[in-house]
Amino acid sequence: MNAMPFLMFVFVIAVLMSGFPVAFALAGGALLFAAAGYALGFFDPSFLSGIPSRIYGVMTNETLIAVPLFVFMGVVLERGKISERLLEEMGRLFGRVRGGLAVSVCLVGAILAASTGIVGATVVTMGLISLPVMLRRRYCPRLACGVISASGTLGQIIPPSIVLVILGDVISNANQLAQLEMGNFSPVPVSVGDLFLGALIPGLMLVGLYAGYVFWVALFSPERAPSLVFGEGESAPGVWETLKVLAPPVALIVMVLGSILGGIATPTEAAAVGAGGALFLSAANKTMSRAALAECARKAARITCMVFFIFVGAGIFSLIFRGFGGDSVVTAALEALPGGLLGAMIAVMLLMFILGFFLDFIEIVLVVVPIVAPALIKLGADPVWLGVMIAVNLQTSFLTPPFGFALFYLRGVAPASVPTSAIYRGAAPFVFLQLALLALLWWLPAAATWLPARVYG
């Protein structure tokens, strides 16, 4: 009986690694084990009666309405050519500084993360525009590829982020469950807005770590990150030129994040503001035709359907997993580890890091987090801090082989002269920087908890 949850988890992970569609792997694998457990007398079929309510709960979850809105905002901004103009102007602005071109990629990655949040679009755009320029300016291919792929993943930790919306909903449910099991029947709720605020400072810290690494390379290996020498007829942009390019995306960021931070709007309402703002910017730039707008809507619908199907499959999986007593088994296992919360956190973070080599972040969030988060919260983990730690950890999944999606995106647009080994080796230092941020957040949890406490009291 106690082995069934473990066997079900391993079976579903193996099916996911085989490339089988995620939603069907989660739901189908769980139902298969439910049937086997019932036949063996290990599973009470009355648990299956909760499946319709799980599906209805996903479909009527107001928080999750932010997902299609943020996706649509990102897709519209991607088609609006804003990222291209940002990269060009920021590259010229910081180009005279040694390593400045790579630092400008970090800064543009942060701006795009706070406006679009779509990793694939960001990496591809920066790879198409910045990588040829950096190679032509004699940047080390490993450094150029590493900084582009890593900066493209900032959209996973800097709000507003689809990952944080999904993770915030999962953490909220885990916190409520943990508090009820501890006898607290009126727990303080944890919202997506809390997680947005909690991730803001760590996200900016990560941008600083990236930029600091680039400057360190430029200082001790100047040949790997030279300064930009303008040719005849070229010059650095003026302040007014830079402001004209920076103002639109910054204004959108202020509208979206500012409305959340100021308590004016919920993340869902702010997502609607962001989607409307993206349409306005695209219309002002005259970069959005009727056909392009229809394609943006179709692309956003496809992504949203995929995410919500996974939600339904994950809900069925977690319900049957609990039917086997899996939550009790996981709680007992984590509580038995030496070191209390520290030992449990190390085990969970290591598990997620390893799974990130093979699974997508959504799969890990919806399969692993609902299982381990209640146990960690009962051991004393702050829910917001735990959510930020998980988000930073999952960001590494985009940069770790063999299935690092950011690496695949960059490989698809990088010139043939750049070997695949240079892309993988270039990403390695940035993975270590993300792990360093994890260690820093463990040592200084206030980096994640101070701003939510300050804003919401």
DSSP string covering 287-326 = ---HHHHHHHHHHHHHHHHHHHHHHHHHHHHHHHHHHTTH
What b/e string do you get for 238-251 counting C-beta neighbours within 10 Å, with b at 16 or more? eeeebeebbebbee
What pLDDT shows up at residue 237?
59
Domain-located, residue 14? no
Q: Looking at per-residue confidence, does 394 or 327 come out higher?
A: 394
Domain-located, residue 353? yes
Dist. CA 385–CA 173, nearest whole Å? 15
- pLDDT band, very low/low/confident/very high, at 214 (cuts 50, 70, 90): very high
Domain-located, residue 344? yes
Q: If 0-12 CB within 10 Å is exposed, 13-18 middle and 19+ buried, where does residue 411 land?
A: middle
Return the amino acid letter for 272. Answer: A
Q: Which residues contact 340 (CB under 8 A, 6 or more apart)?
A: 379, 380
> What length is written for the chain?
457
Q: Is the pLDDT of residue 276 over 90?
A: no
* DSSP per-residue string spanning 112-144: HHTTT--HHHHHHHHHHHHHHHHHHTT--HHHH
Domain-located, residue 11? no
Dist. CA 386–CA 409, nearest whole Å? 29
What is the separation of C-alpha 39 from the centre of its chain, rounded to a whole number of angstroms? 40
What b/e string do you get for 103-124 counting C-beta neighbours within 10 Å, with b at 16 or more? bbbbbbbbbbbbbbbbbbbbbb
Domain-located, residue 390? yes
Return the amino acid letter for 454. Answer: R
Q: Which residues contact 209 (CB under 8 A, 6 or more apart)?
A: 433, 436, 437
Domain-located, residue 358? yes
Q: Is the pLDDT of residue 95 over 70?
A: no
- pLDDT band, very low/low/confident/very high, at 203 (cuts 50, 70, 90): very high
Domain-located, residue 449? yes
What pLDDT shows up at residue 53?
85
What pLDDT shows up at residue 216?
93
Dist. CA 10–CA 30, nearest whole Å? 11
Contact 294, 7 (CB under 8 A): no
Contact 434, 208 (CB under 8 A): no
Instruction: State the total domains in the chain.
Output: 1
What distances in angstroms separate CA 353 from CA 84, 96, 327, 345, one per listed residue?
A: 32, 38, 21, 12
Q: Which of 22-31, 46-55, 112-121 shows the lowest mean pLDDT across its residues?
A: 112-121
What pLDDT shows up at residue 444?
92
Domain-located, residue 401? yes
Q: What is the pTM of this model?
A: 0.83
Token pair listed for 28: 């189908």
Q: Looking at per-residue confidence, does 428 or 307 come out higher?
A: 428
Q: Which residues contact 6 (CB under 8 A, 6 or more apart)?
A: 326, 329
Q: Which residues contact 451 (CB under 8 A, 6 or more apart)?
A: 197, 198, 200, 201
- pLDDT band, very low/low/confident/very high, at 377 (cuts 50, 70, 90): very high
Which domain, by its residues, includes 427?
45-456
Q: Is the pLDDT of residue 118 over 70?
A: no
